[in-house]
Amino acid sequence: MKVLVVGNGGREYSILKKLSEDGVELFAAKGNGGTSVFAKNIDIEPEDVESLVNFAKENRIDLTIVGPENPLCLGIADRFEEEGLKIFGVKKNGAKFEASKDFTKEFLVRHDIPTAKYATFFEYEKAVEYLSEINYPIVIKADGLCLGKGVTIAQNMEEAKAALRDVFVEEKMNSDRVVIEEFLDGNEISAICMVSHNKIYPFEYARDYKKIGDGNKGPNTGGVGNIIPVEDMSDDLKVQIQKILDEISLGLEKDNFNYTGILFVGFMVVDKPYVLEFNVRFGDPETEVIMEKLDSSLIQLAEKAIEGTLTQEDFKYNDDYYTGVMMVSGGYPGSYAKGYEISGIEDVINSTVVHAGTSFENGKFYTSGGRVLMVIGRGKNRAEATKMAYEDVEKIKFKDAYYRRDVGI
């Protein structure tokens, strides 16, 4: 069997690592410095849909799994299916949930799914007028694909105006509108779900660390840490979340979607769980810890989702705890330098090292992105997993390396 994974980051590395357990022939488009351990890296960009279609046809790829959002929003799943190629990823109409936060909010409100109150604006002046009518802090989200960096939690009007200027005046986000939401203060839960023809099946829940600084300080990132399982989830909370997932599934049916692929549902738990956001792809870095926890075959899960035979009983997990600590380039999520040599990876024996933003040249690894490596410690409890992760993080070196020191603590 031949399987193609589309994407370049840590998420795709972990997907490939998991797929390698099935002994299939793997290809990555275009992969990163570490993925060549499991797959043949193909020099095709994830957004080059037509080249990927041609590659899959010419090489008789049996299954393609899509990691990032951009190719999904470009309609890669539609094109593959038009050519009779099997692909696990949502079609373009379902990818609107990622392409537009406003589209998602309208869906949530239409189906009475708990979410933060919001307003959408297309003009800087009208958005600024609204700022004087609300309480702070507030959340400002640039509408569109912002790679996890389009969200600002503004503590006052000046910070809010600055975020609006970034969108409407400086045009930093490639967006023509913003969603301004009430701020919900609570505990975040990440629900990454496989969806089979509108039926939703969650993986085990994880918790992401979004802020760059210890104690959840500083700007939002794409995620700089993750833990699984989430120990403070009560059985009652799981029931409440499952009820919301069922309501989302019913909403997909009512709106005539035929949604098959991944749906990431970000929850904020206050007095009850509220839906913060939808994404239409494997969450990153949640996927990295989930793939370590998962005992089931990812290929079988994806194929069953496509066929419509998937059940929750198909998801099997080990009993261990995992703490993932992301090592990032100094300056991330702002500007940062690339091309620094990485040493010490070979000294990590007990933890899993996930390559996210690395390149491999002349037998050495170098930094090539903001999020460079994730070190995932494993243990019989949270303390053991966290201790393992941080012991191994300290073995890896590259110039200006930074990581949070409170993940899992």
On the question of pLDDT at 8 being above 90, the answer is: yes
pLDDT at position 230, please? 97
Please determine, for residue 127, whether its predicted confidence score (pLDDT) is greater than 80.
yes
65 vs 263: CA distance, rounded Å: 14
> Distance (Å, rounded) from C-alpha 336 to C-alpha 46?
23
Higher-confidence residue of 146 and 204: namely 204
pLDDT score recorded for residue 144: 78
Cβ distance 143 to 179 under 8 Å?
yes
User: Is 18 a domain residue?
Assistant: yes
Judge whether 117 and 110 are in contact, CB under 8 Å.
no
Is residue 110, in this structure, part of any structural domain at all? Answer: no
208 and 306 belong to one structural domain: yes
Both 195 and 177 in one domain: the answer is no
Question: Band of the pLDDT at 220, cuts 50, 70, 90?
Answer: confident
Same domain, 305 and 195: yes
46-83: pLDDT as tens digits = 999 999 999 999 999 999 999 999 999 999 999 999 99
3-class state of residue 97 by DSSP: helix
Q: Write down the pLDDT at residue 293.
A: 98
CA distance 388 to 395: 11
pLDDT at res. 173 = 82
Same domain, 199 and 172: no
| Residue 364 lies inside a defined structural domain of this protein | yes
Domain that holds residue 27: 2-89
Give the confidence band of 111 by pLDDT, cuts at 50, 70, 90.
Answer: very high
**Averaged pLDDT of the chain:** 96
Confidence band (pLDDT; 50, 70, 90) for 90? very high
pLDDT confidence of residue 269: 96
Q: What is the mean pLDDT of residues 134-160?
A: 86
Retrieve residue 81's tokens: 């299916």
Residue 401: predicted pLDDT? 98
How far is residue 152 from each of residues 117, 149, 165, 171, 265, measured CA to CA in Å?
A: 16, 8, 12, 15, 19
The residue whose two tokens read 């990132």 is: 221
Residue 303 in 3-state DSSP? helix
pLDDT at position 175 is 87
Domain for residue 103, yes or no? no
CATH number at residue 374: 3.90.600.10
Q: Is the pLDDT of residue 147 over 60?
A: no
Q: Residue 284 corresponds to which tokens in the numbers above?
A: 């990153």
Q: How far is Cα of residue 114 from the mean position of the Cα atoms in its chain?
A: 22
Confidence (pLDDT) at 169: 87
Please give the angle made by the CA atoms of 271, 404 and 190, to the nearest 5 degrees: 35
Beta strands in 222-260 (DSSP E): 225-228
Would you tell me how many other CB atoms lie within 10 Å of the CB of residue 57?
13
Q: Structurally, how many domains does the chain consist of?
A: 4
As a whole number of angstroms, the distance between CA 107 and CA 257 comes to: 12
Query: What are the residues facing 28 on neighbouring strands?
Result: 5, 41
Q: In terms of domains, do 78 and 45 share one? A: yes
Residue 128 lies in a domain: yes
Q: Is residue 404 part of a domain?
A: no
Hey, what are 392's tokens?
């191994």
Q: Is residue 197 located within the same domain as residue 264?
A: yes
C-beta separation of 31 from 9 below 8 A: no
In a domain? residue 330: yes
Q: What is the mean pLDDT of residues 218-235?
A: 94
Q: What is the pLDDT of residue 174?
A: 79
Check whether 148 has a pLDDT greater than 60: no
**Does residue 149 have a pLDDT over 90?**
no
Q: Could you read off the pLDDT of 336-358 as tens digits, one per residue?
A: 999 999 999 999 999 999 999 99
DSSP string computed for 146-191: -TT--EEEESSHHHHHHHHHHHHTS--S--S-EEEEE---SEEEEE
Indicate whether 138 and 159 sit together in one domain. yes
Please say if the pLDDT value at position 146 is more than 80: no
- The dihedrals phi and psi of 214, each to the nearest 5 degrees, come to -55, 150
| Structure tokens given for 25 | 């022939």
Q: How far apart are CA 345 and CA 349, in angstroms?
A: 9
Asked if residue 97 has pLDDT above 80, the reply is: yes
- pLDDT beyond 60 at 304: yes
Report helix, strand or coil for 196.
Answer: strand
Q: Using CA atoms, how far apart are residues 370 and 336, in angstroms rounded to an integer? A: 7
Same domain, 202 and 310: yes
